[in-house]
Amino acid sequence: MDKENIFEFIKDPEKLKLLVTANEVLNINKNSNNKIIFVYSAPKVGSTSIVSSLRIFGADKFVIIHIHDEEMLKVLGHINGITVNEIILFNKYLGKDVYVIDIYRSPIERKISVFFEKIGAYHFNNTENLVNEYNVTKVINRFNNIFDYIGLGDHFMDMYNINIPNQFDYKNKYLLVEENGIKYIKLRLKDSIIWGHILTNIFGTRICVIKDYESSNKPIKKLYNAFKREYKIPNNFLENIIQCKYFNYYYSLEERLQYFNEWSQKSSENYNGYTVDQYKIYQEITLENSHIDYIQLDHYFDEGCLCKACGLKRAEVASKIMRGLHISDRIVHTDAKNEFIQKRVICVNNINRVLQNIPKKVNVNGFKPNLKTIVKGKR
């Protein structure tokens, strides 16, 4: 896209209509906050952790949109005919303060995570509970066959259509690039321990980062943990990883050497996976055989509802996080609403018990206690 005519596409009436509809579907128009954060990244890089953390500590300050690609727009929002970048630019055109966040994850770990994300419904056409009992050698062979074709690409370099610095900022451990008035942020998953500090500085409000819902905690965890223990990367795979342009950009020389040394200790002889044509056939057969609907439960720790009940639950969770306490309850509208109602019922019952214990004839200077005056704290 010509940088000088970056907003030209908005003048097309049909495109404009689609963009307005997209903002409605994404609930951008329903939020009065002027600051929009698009977490626009590849899957399985730690983005849900960022989204939930931003929601817990900034739902009242930011509009937070999580998206991976145009296919996700189509499936979840029935949005066709426009790109994610066009939606981002459109909101800048409307005068919004727009941020876009992407994350780089170390390549081998990302591939493993992508593979296990749909290992049952997609790769083995079976339930996760049954796949959990599979022989790990069988699973490793399948993973090696498709290794070259999963967990590819980088949104910051490939999708954003921006000019990037010649070198990643290894000292501050993030990039902040402003182009067309939009601020693009690049983080690394390996630095997640300091994400809270980075995001707090960027957005000017305290943000603590919670952990993502990791595969080691999912129903497939038995097989996942066995895979991590047993997997040895073929030497030719490791050599290709070391030459990857993304890996060489986001990791310093010292970090690359350390990564290579760690994995070379868990390496094995060369392996020839599927050719391009073989992988195409694999995809076709896999999709034809797949009969189990894949629905990812517990995707976010905070689902992002802005109702009063969720807001109170969010404040409670944020307080616990800042005090270093363990948190387990997700912020889900139905649960938060039920908890809110239960607390109100308990509160009313406690007040009623207090009233029942007050003598009926008590009247000091004309004061007659009742539920209304006690709740308001009046005399």
Helix axis angle, 221-230 to 107-117, nearest 10°: 150
Mean pLDDT per segment of 10 residues, for the chain of length 379 residues?
A: 74 93 88 91 93 92 93 86 96 96 98 93 90 95 98 96 96 97 97 96 94 66 95 98 97 98 97 97 90 58 76 79 75 76 73 71 56 51
Residues 6+ apart with CB under 8 A from 45: 102, 103, 104, 105, 110, 189
* Interatomic CA distance for residues 376 and 328, integer angstroms: 33
* Interatomic CA distance for residues 326 and 54, integer angstroms: 18
Contact 143, 112 (CB under 8 A): yes
Contact 27, 190 (CB under 8 A): no
Q: Which residue bears the tokens 């990812």?
A: 296
Q: Which residue bears the tokens 């720790």?
A: 301
CA 126, distance to chain mean position in Å, is: 26
Note the pLDDT of residue 297: 46
* Interatomic CA distance for residues 340 and 113, integer angstroms: 36
